[in-house]
């Protein structure tokens, strides 16, 4: 579970604590939920509780994002209520959840239903920027505060004064990636391969391009794809012929692994850079299947905080998450892997971060992945 997910939940709790009131436009009838919308996983607010809404991709291609966010929210809810709830109001917190299936239309419908039918005090979501934009427009219309835990596209909070985030922006993330490419990888030519249907991917691509060229680099080629594509040979062949030093893929984990594997089969040896849409599980899978030695990527994050929060997860969940990395390994090797992995990761992280500037090394939310 990401540390930012719990930070988002805490921020939402503070907003509710402050007593934010929603105002529903007059004459606006409640919208009917779409047929594909899932029922909430959490019960409606019991008497004496403050109801908060959550919408996320609990199913669909980006389900890992929605599930991780939901786990963080439920953990924060348990901790707040376990400590007495909102003590100055004498109330506990409850969450109503809807699954948007990773679709913008469903996201807008889910937020509408949370506000008009369930009468929530605040809304938490989404992870993907395109979905947060769809839901944010509804929340702004009804003057209900909405907080996204990890939508980094600047357009999300530009919707209005009721939309908030608890993460960095793509202009910062793109600058970090460009600086790493220029200073650490000594890259002069870069290729961009982005998801043309995602605001997150297009925005991060543009900010990287701006920063990379300002730092003296050149963009040799820009190639687009659509999330869910299986064949990237045409785009990757063009990138290979451009003979670039680094390739930026500002996409989601569902596509990144397939792209990198196809690139290696085509003989592309340039390193890949990605943003916070990448997942460590996918990177580890690419490493095992391509038999590449060493670490699968570089991440700048708050490792001690993440470990502390992992200890608060139920033991069964920790066990399941910890064993994702050894899928496919012989049983006799798994115990050795789990005994040595934490120490190896810490040593590797320490060595990789030594050469970075303090501003980059200490800024915990910035995630930069190198495969």
Question: If DSSP codes are grouped into helix, strand and coil, which group holds residue 218?
Answer: strand
pLDDT band, very low/low/confident/very high, at 313 (cuts 50, 70, 90):
low
Q: How many domains does the chain fold into?
A: 2
* Spatial distance between the Cα atoms of 209 and 190, rounded to a whole number of angstroms: 9
In this structure, the answer to whether residues 85 and 145 fall within a common structural domain is yes
In this structure, the answer to whether residues 92 and 56 fall within a common structural domain is yes
In this structure, the answer to whether residues 115 and 175 fall within a common structural domain is no
Each residue's pLDDT tens digit, 203-233 = 999 999 999 999 999 999 999 999 889 999 9
* Spatial distance between the Cα atoms of 359 and 95, rounded to a whole number of angstroms: 37
> How many other CB atoms sit within 10 Å of the CB of residue 117?
13
Do the domain assignments include residue 321?
Answer: no
Each residue's pLDDT tens digit, 148-164 = 998 989 999 999 999 99
Q: For the packed helices 129-141 and 199-214, what is the interaxial angle rounded to 10 degrees?
A: 110
Yes or no: say if 313 and 75 are a contact pair by the CB < 8 Å rule. yes
In this structure, the answer to whether residues 149 and 213 fall within a common structural domain is no
Mean pLDDT of 286-299: 40
- Of 131, 119, 7, give the one whose Cα is nearest residue 69: 7
pLDDT value of position 30: 36
Which two tokens mark 251?
């996409």
First to last CA, the chain: 21
Please report, for the domain that includes residue 98, its CATH number. 3.40.50.2300
**Length of the chain measured in residues:** 371
Do the domain assignments include residue 33?
Answer: yes
In this structure, the answer to whether residues 288 and 174 fall within a common structural domain is yes
* Spatial distance between the Cα atoms of 112 and 114, rounded to a whole number of angstroms: 6
Yes or no: say if 305 and 364 are a contact pair by the CB < 8 Å rule. yes
The pTM of this model reads 0.64
Domain boundary among 165, 184, 216: 165
Domain encompassing residue 46: 3-165
Residue 360 predicted with pLDDT over 50 = no
């Amino acid at each position: 579970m990401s540390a930012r997910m719990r930070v988002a939940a805490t921020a939402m709790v503070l907003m509710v604590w402050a007593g934010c009131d929603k105002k529903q436009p007059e004459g606006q009838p409640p919208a009917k939920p779409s047929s594909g919308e899932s029922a909430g996983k959490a019960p409606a607010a019991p008497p004496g509780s403050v109801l908060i809404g959550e919408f996320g991709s609990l199913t669909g291609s980006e389900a890992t994002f929605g599930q991780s966010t939901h786990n963080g929210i439920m953990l924060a809810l348990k901790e707040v209520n376990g400590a007495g709830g909102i003590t100055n109001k004498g109330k506990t917190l409850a969450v109503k959840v809807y699954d948007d299936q990773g679709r913008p239309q469903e996201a807008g419908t889910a937020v509408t239903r949370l506000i008009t039918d369930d009468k929530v005090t605040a809304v938490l979501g989404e992870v993907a920027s395109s979905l947060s934009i769809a839901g944010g427009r509804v929340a702004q219309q009804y003057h209900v505060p909405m907080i996204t835990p990890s939508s980094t596209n600047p357009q999300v909070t530009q919707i209005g004064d009721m939309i908030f985030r608890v993460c960095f922006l793509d202009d910062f993330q793109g600058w970090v990636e460009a600086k790493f490419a220029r200073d650490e990888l000594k890259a002069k030519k870069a290729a961009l391969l982005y998801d043309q249907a995602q605001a997150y991917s297009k925005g991060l691509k543009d900010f990287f391009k701006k920063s990379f060229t300002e730092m003296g680099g050149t963009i040799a080629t820009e190639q687009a794809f659509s999330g869910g594509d299986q064949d990237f040979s045409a785009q990757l062949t063009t990138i290979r012929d451009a003979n670039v030093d680094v390739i930026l893929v500002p996409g989601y984990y569902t596509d990144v692994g397939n792209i990198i594997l196809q690139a290696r089969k085509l003989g592309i040896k340039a390193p890949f850079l990605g943003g916070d849409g990448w997942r460590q599980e996918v990177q580890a899978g690419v490493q095992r299947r391509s038999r590449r030695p060493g670490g699968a990527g570089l991440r700048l994050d708050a490792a001690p905080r993440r470990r502390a929060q992992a200890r608060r997860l139920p033991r069964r969940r920790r066990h399941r998450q910890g064993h994702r990395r050894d899928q496919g390994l012989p049983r006799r090797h798994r115990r050795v892997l789990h005994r040595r992995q934490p120490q190896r990761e810490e040593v590797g992280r320490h060595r990789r971060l030594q050469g970075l500037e303090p501003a980059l090394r200490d800024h915990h939310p910035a995630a930069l992945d190198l495969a």
